[in-house]
Amino acid sequence: MTLDPDPVDTETTSGTPSVGDDAARRAAAALVAGLPPSAAVWCSGVRKRYGRRPAVQDVSLEVGRGEVVGLLGPNGAGKTTVIKMLLGLTHPDAGEVMLLGRPATDPAARARVGYLPELFRYQPWLSASEVLALHARLAGSGVPTQQQLDCLALVGLAERARDRVGGFSKGMQQRLGLAVALVAKPELVILDEPTSALDPLGRADVRDIVLDLKSRGVAVLLNSHLIGEVERVCDRVVILGRCNGHSRSGTGPRCPGHRSARRRACRISLEDRLLGILRADQGDDR
Ligand SMILES: Nc1ncnc2c1ncn2[C@@H]1O[C@H](COP(=O)(O)OP(=O)(O)OP(=O)(O)O)[C@@H](O)[C@H]1O
Ligand SMILES: [Mg+2]
């Protein structure tokens, strides 16, 4: 957890700062400066039930600053629900969540997070650049217009900046969603199946964008069913299994390989590990 230096009250009850208060403040600031930064996102023992059906059961995970973590699991395992709880969009029935060192519901933390939802729809009457400008304003950050246009260019929509999003194809809408997630220069980016509608070129663009985020120290949580994609960019994976309607989490192998041989070895183990978990969950002992 990070400590905020500014709420410290330097005044005594008489309204005059005291020497003792000043020394205490300096000592506290030195203590905070020596602490490692809080995780980009952290949760412990989160659970969620919809009616009588458990959607997420006891999931704990952490994404460190500058780390790229993959979130894998079968359909219905609870990946999107976990993401929504991490972002404070869905209230967990139990467990704790911290976002950039603050409670997930704190607007100050959420303003520093970029999020590409699994399912979304922008106002169809707005142009792509208007959608981006709106979200830059919602994030509360003064993003210069040129930076917004650069962001559209990054996702391959420079030519369509003035077009209404109601006329966009599925893949173009997903590209715009990615631009929205990136426009306010977030410290943490959460992508829920960012490439499900993208062509191979778009998928390669997303891979490059994630690697660029990582090189700039931005943390990324990536939910994707494309194991090759996850393997290429992620430092670590978390696997949510489905076990009689319960989800469980586990840490997969590290995938640091930049050399093709290591990458291939890594893919085999990651795929095998994932298939092993999925088959075990379904009582299939192939
Ligand atoms: N709003 C909701 N109301 C009722 N049940 C829900 C709701 N959202 C999710 N669920 C249920 O919670 C479980 C987990 O759903 P979730 O969308 O988190 O899975 P997922 O791992 O993201 O799946 P997918 O890979 O298909 O996207 C499912 O059984 C789903 O039916
Ligand atoms: Mg999902």
Tens of pLDDT, residue by residue over 30-53, are 776 767 678 999 999 999 999 999
Q: What is the pTM of this model?
A: 0.82
Residue 286 clears pLDDT 80, i.e. is over it: no
Residue nearest to atom 29 of ligand 1 (CA): 76
The predicted model gives 217-222 an average pLDDT of 96
Evaluate if residue 247 carries a pLDDT over 60: no
SS3 label, residue 75: coil
The residue to which tokens 């969540």 are assigned: 97
**Cα gap 155→176, rounded to integer Å:** 7
Flag whether pLDDT at 214 surpasses 70.
yes
120 Cβ inside 6 Å of ligand 1: no
Give tens-digit pLDDT for 177-187: 999 999 999 99
Mutate to test the pocket of ligand 1, among 79, 86, 87 (most ligand atoms within 8 A of CB): 79
For the chain, which domains are there? 1-7+43-112+187-286 (3.40.50.300), 117-186 (no CATH)
pLDDT at 175: 94
How confident is the model at residue 229, as a pLDDT? 87
The verdict on the CB of residue 52 being under 6 Å from ligand 1 is no
Q: Which atom of ligand 1 is nearest to the CA of 74?
A: 25
CB 207 within 8 A of CB 234: no
Q: 267: exposed, middle or buried (C-beta count within 10 Å: 0-12, 13-18, 19+)?
A: middle
Alpha helices in the chain (DSSP H): 19-34, 79-86, 107-110, 128-138, 145-154, 170-182, 200-215, 227-233, 260-281
Lay out the sheet containing 236-243: strands in order across: 113-116, 188-192, 219-223, 68-72, 236-243, 246-251
Q: Is the CB of 54 under 6 A from ligand 1?
A: no
Give bridge partners of residue 17 from the DSSP assignment: 11
DSSP 8-state code for residue 113: E
- Measured in angstroms, how far is the CA atom of residue 6 from the centroid of ligand 1? 40
- Pocket probe for ligand 1: among 80, 195, 230, 281, the residue whose CB has the most ligand atoms within 8 Å is 80
pLDDT > 70: percent of the chain: 80
Q: How far apart are the first and last CA of the chain?
A: 44
Our mutation pick for probing the ligand 1 site, out of 59, 75, 81, 196, counting the most ligand atoms within 8 A of Cβ, is 81
Rounded to whole angstroms, the Cα distance separating 147 from 3 reads 31
82 Cα–ligand 1 center, Å: 10
Instruction: Verify whether ligand 1 is closer than 6 Å to residue 47 (CB atom).
Output: no
Q: How much is the mean pLDDT over the chain?
A: 82
Quote the tokens at residue 241.
């299994």
CA distances from 255 to 184, 189, 236 (A): 29, 19, 6
Contact 188, 116 (CB under 8 A): no
Q: What pLDDT, in 10s, does the model give residues 134-151?
A: 999 888 878 899 999 999
94-128, pLDDT tens digit by residue?
999 999 999 988 888 888 999 999 998 999 999 99
Q: Which amino acid is at 137?
A: R
User: Tell me, what's the pLDDT at 26?
Assistant: 83
Question: 243 pLDDT band (50/70/90 cuts)?
Answer: low
Residue 55 Cβ contacting ligand 1 at under 6 Å: yes
Q: Which tokens sit at 250?
A: 């586990």
